Amino acid sequence: MNTKPFTSGLGENVVVITRVADRQWHALEDDLVVGRGHAQRRPDGRLFVSIDAWHDATFDRLAEAMTAQLPTPLYTVVDEADVELTARWRRAGFTIRRREWEYVVPTDPQITGLEAVLPPSGVTIVPAGQADEGLLRAVDRAIRDEVEASVGWQSMPAEVIPRLDGDTIVDPSKYAVAAVPDRYLGLIRVVTAIRPRIGLVAVRAGEQRRGIARALLAHALGTLHRSGFATAWAEVHESNRAASALFEGIGARPASSNLELVR
């Protein structure tokens, strides 16, 4: 472990930056912790950094020490409304890589207009936790290949970017699917750990514009509504106009936006 301190300041208050663990840094002033830095490698292999510091100077020194000791590229995520934090990361050499809109999605079918929506003839919705894992992974890979060949999978929500082994199905129990007897045509991923979040809605290219995505949403949102949830959340990449139109068409509204920055 490299614990060699980085020192800044020429006056009475000297801030010392020390690497206290493999991916943790502390900023110390008169033996008090006045800032912390952390790096975490996500399942897709990318290294994300975060800094918690009250003062600009402390943030800058932590960023300087961390970027000097970590391999590039480095990533971080900020709320776009936090102009000050965004400016701090920009000073550290980070630039905007992608923007995601966060939508608040009503679940009440009388609000969404999805009450009478059914899947196309011959298509059934398999509830979350009941999908065949092999068919689920097959449709996930097929959709991923189709998206990659067009707009690129990087335009999909950040949470479904593939892991190092190429897999995007972390927990099969979170997926409901649109099925025909021999294969799946589309999928929806919903996580309800803290607040319900729709992580992904996707349909195979040749099956689009048949109402399958709306049927998947009708099923998922109806299930959440019956479970007592009035709203859900969804993240949409700013370039994905089709997804924005889909959510806005059922009464969802953008509440905030997140920026992913890279150095």
Q: If you classify domain 6-98 with CATH, what class do you get?
A: alpha beta
Confirm whether 6-98 and 101-257 share one CATH topology: yes
Q: Decide if 211 contacts 202 (C-beta within 8 A).
A: no
The whole-angstrom distance between residue 137's C-alpha and the CA centroid of its chain comes to: 20
Beta-carbon neighbour count of residue 227 at 10 Å?
10
pLDDT of residue 72: 95
**Domains of the chain: which residue ranges?**
6-98, 101-257
pLDDT tens per residue, the chain (263 residues)? 555 555 554 445 688 999 999 999 999 988 899 999 999 988 778 899 999 998 999 999 999 999 999 999 999 999 999 999 999 999 999 999 989 999 999 999 999 999 999 999 999 999 999 999 999 999 999 988 888 777 666 656 555 555 555 667 778 999 999 999 999 999 999 998 778 999 889 999 999 999 999 999 999 999 999 999 999 999 888 888 888 999 999 999 999 999 999 99
pLDDT of residue 240: 83
Q: Decide if 263 contacts 94 (C-beta within 8 A).
A: yes
Report the helix count and the strand count for the chain, using DSSP H and E.
6, 13
Q: What is the β-pairing status of strands 24-29 and 6-8?
A: unpaired
pLDDT tens-digit series, residues 181-239: 999 999 999 998 778 999 889 999 999 999 999 999 999 999 999 999 999 999 888 88
CATH tag for 101-257 (out of 3.50.50.60, 3.40.630.30, 3.40.30.10, 3.30.930.10): 3.40.630.30
Q: Which residues, 6 or more positions from 6, have their beta carbon under 8 angstroms from its beta carbon?
A: 16, 17, 18, 61, 64, 65, 68
